[in-house]
Structure 1
Amino acid sequence: MEELKHKFKFEKLRIWNDSMDLAENIHQSSSKFPKDEMYNLISQIRRASDSIALNISEGAILQSNPEYRRFLGYSIRSIAEVVTCLHKAHRRKYLDKEEFNCFYKRCFDLMNMTIAFRKKIN
């Protein structure tokens, strides 16, 4: 695929790129969950992880900083939702300790970066 010369501003943001990677990794990992979780935990964790980047990009196109801050808040809440889903997956033994810890750290780092970015926007 040819590299595009024009990019949206949000595509340059580390929080957007990290959240895109996280969602893809969550999608891949959750495909190993039991099939009876398809409409429950699998769907929930995928929607929550996708929502992180979606809200970052949606907020970035707004001209209003208070509105952008609001959308970043939605992203932060989605990260917390992903973390809760990760705990559920680990408790149900769908994720081993190493995989859980890796996802947990990525969520923790992404949450801190998103909070810092939101504070920077006035």
Structure 2
Amino acid sequence: MHKFRELKVWQRAMDFTVKVYELTAQFPKSEQFGLVSQLRRAATSIPLNIAEGAGAGSDAEFRRFLSIAARSGYEIMTGLEISQRLGYANEEQGKPFLAEVDEIVGMLVGLMRKLESKTSRRP
């Protein structure tokens, strides 16, 4: 069992999720059940999967949940780019979001590698 609240990646993902909610609140009402919902679900998926994986019984299972969280990050990247193309977010708004989610995905990948090396060192 891992203490997910102590993980920097979980903390960053929580803060990022709030930012995604704030950004998407400005999107057109017609997107409430489309892009807004998709981006919010993908954003919440990151810290939720980190927490769920931290409670898993093994490092291998934790890595699996971290992988799901990372894939949600890629989903957000694409959703943000779609938002920019549709004019819901300009480049000035979108660029910091894309950079932040990229950093979060990098942190997730780093944690997965750390868990993998820890597992491979066991007899």
TM, length-normalised to structure 2: 0.91
Amino acid of the structure 1 residue aligned with 2:90: D
Q: 1:85-119 CA distances to partner (integer Å, 9 max, x unpaired)?
A: 10110101111111111000001111111100011
Amino acid of the structure 2 residue aligned with 1:29: L
Mind listing any 5+ residue stretches in structure 2 that lack a counterpart? none
Taking the aligned partners of 1:25 and 1:108, their CA distance within structure 2 comes to: 15
State whether structure 2 residue 102 is matched by structure 1 residue 108. yes
Partner of 1:63: 57
Partner of 1:38: 32
Mind listing any 5+ residue stretches in structure 1 that lack a counterpart? 1-7
Specify which of 67, 71, 86 is matched with residue 73 of structure 1: 67
TM-aligned CA deviation for residue 45 of structure 1 = 0.1
Taking the aligned partners of 2:81 and 2:90, their CA distance within structure 1 comes to: 11
TM, length-normalised to structure 1: 0.92
TM-aligned CA deviation for residue 63 of structure 1 = 1.9
Secondary structure of the residue aligned to 2:39 is: helix
Partner of 1:88: 82
TM-aligned CA deviation for residue 83 of structure 1 = 0.5
Secondary structure of the residue aligned to 1:109 is: helix
Partner of 1:16: 10
Aligned CA-pair RMSD: 0.9
Taking the aligned partners of 1:108 and 1:71, their CA distance within structure 2 comes to: 18
Taking the aligned partners of 1:80 and 1:11, their CA distance within structure 2 comes to: 23
Q: Percent of pairs identical after alignment? A: 36
Taking the aligned partners of 2:107 and 2:47, their CA distance within structure 1 comes to: 13
Say how many residue pairs are matched.
Answer: 115
